[in-house]
Amino acid sequence: MQNNNVRPETMERITTKALADAFIEEQIKEVRAQVGDKKVLLALSGGVDSSVVAALLIKAIGRQLICVHVNHGLMRKDESENVIKLFEDGFDANLVYVDATDRFLDLLAGVSDPEKKRKIIGSEFINVFADEARKLEDVDYLAQGTIYPDILESFKQAEGKKAVKSHYNVGGLPEDLKFELVEPIKLLFKDEVRVVGEALGLPHEMVYRQPFPGPGLGVRCLGAITRDRLHALREADAILREEFAKNGLAGKVWQYFVVIPDIKSVGVKDESRYEGWPAIIRAVNTTDAMSATIEEIPYSLLHHITYRITHEVEGLNRVLLDLTPKPIGTIEWE
Ligand code: XMP
């Protein structure tokens, strides 16, 4: 393991499979030397970084790695199922699945302030993960999908620069859980993580998938989250993703998703009054997420998506398009 948090200037950028293979071999040796025959715990969200760490550590130490997948109830449609399937079937992972949907949604009920929501989701994630960690014996190490931009961000925050939103990724476990960290990709940039991920045998679509925030659909189901509106959001988002994939936009647009505000408008369905929420489509392009431009989506596709969302998803009666760049908007609405 590198003890150093600074990327050496001499470190070659990992752009090819051969370079990725060499990096993987080197990390396998380092991880084995670091952990020996001890167990390692990893919060596996299914995002690119934690997935790459899981695949790498399984290669290095097999079932000594215990992956814990926490479903906070704010995942996209079929997401948890897909993570489990990929890692249990494809990698023979030692995986613990925790469905904590009720814990999260009960705590979030009635909470409309965006920062409070983020804090609740972040801290409950740690509580659930810590509960699972305490059930396990002889675990000495915690693996994390820290990547180099996370380290650069923490340098910035140490200099006193304030973040716009309180992002969360795992960290800050309670005092009684003292683990030594294993961070095999902490000196890599995102593009390198993806190259390494593919070299490890992770599917292309998963390695190149769009970013998904830690608090998940929680920051897209605006205001106080209710189960019915969250369900509508999950279904509408699945339709949007399916249509973007079918129409060749999935690999082209950096991030695209649906947001549902807590407002209803009057509509008409089967000749009767039909009150429903609007689905807001957001599709943006960026290189660093600090600023973003709007992707132009063909009107014919927007009409089709609108038809599908309003006809297939219970509770939605309008579709709107968000044309706001960042700045002035942020990418997520909360
Ligand atoms: P904003 O909304 O700040 O988002 O323009 C910039 C990028 O960050 C993602 N995002 C998060 N990622 N944990 C994450 O790992 C979070 O809490 C979080 N919140 C926002 C967002 O999806 C966008 O890609």
- Find out whether the beta carbon of 289 lies less than 6 Å from any atom of ligand 1: yes
Report DSSP letters for 206-275, one per residue.
Answer: HHTPPP--TTGGGGTB-SS--HHHHHHHHHHHHHHHHHHHHTT-TTTSSEEEEEB-S--EEEEETTEEEE
Three-state secondary structure call for residue 285: strand
Place of tokens 């801290």: 123
- Structure confidence at residue 38 as a pLDDT band (50, 70, 90): very high
214 lines ligand 1 (CB under 6 A): yes
Nearest by Cα to 52 from 153, 190, 152, 171: 190
Cα–Cα distance, 1 to 107 (Å, whole number):
39
Q: Which atom of ligand 1 is nearest to the CA of 326?
A: 5
How crowded is residue 75: how many other Cβ atoms within 10 Å of its Cβ?
A: 21
Give residue 332 CA to ligand 1 midpoint distance, Å.
Answer: 7
Q: How far is CA 38 from the centre of its chain?
A: 28
For ligand 1, atom 21, name the residue with the nearest CA: 213
Q: In this model, does residue 1 exceed pLDDT 50?
A: no
Average pLDDT on 190-214 reads 96
CB of 326 within 6 A of ligand 1: the answer is yes
Q: How far apart are the first and last CA of the chain?
A: 37
User: 320 forms bridges with which residues in the sheet?
Assistant: 280
What pLDDT is recorded for position 165? 79
Model confidence pLDDT, tens digit, residues 152-201: 888 887 788 777 877 765 567 888 899 999 999 999 999 999 999 999 99
Domains detected in the chain: 17-207 (3.40.50.620), 220-321 (3.30.300.10)
What predicted TM-score, i.e. pTM, was given to this entire model? 0.94
3-state helix, strand, coil split of the chain in percent (to 5) is 45, 20, 40
Residue 160: the pLDDT is 80
Q: Please name the residue whose Cα sits nearest to atom 7 of ligand 1.
A: 289
> Is pLDDT at 36 greater than 70 in this prediction?
yes
Q: Helix count (H) and strand count (E) of the chain?
A: 11, 10
Residue with tokens 């997935």: 51
- Per-residue pLDDT of 116-144, as tens digits, reads 999 999 999 999 999 999 999 999 999 99
Q: What's the pLDDT score for residue 315?
A: 98
Residue 201: Cβ within 10 Å count: 10
- Residue 195: CB partners within 8 Å, gap ≥ 6? 14, 15, 16, 17, 19, 20
Query: Looking at ligand 1, which residue's alpha carbon is closest to its atom 10?
Result: 213
Calculate how far, in angstroms, residue 279's C-alpha sits from the geometric centre of ligand 1.
20
Beta bridge partners of 95: 67
Strand-pair category, 65-71 with 39-43: parallel
Q: Which protein residue has the closest C-alpha to ligand 1 atom 18?
A: 213
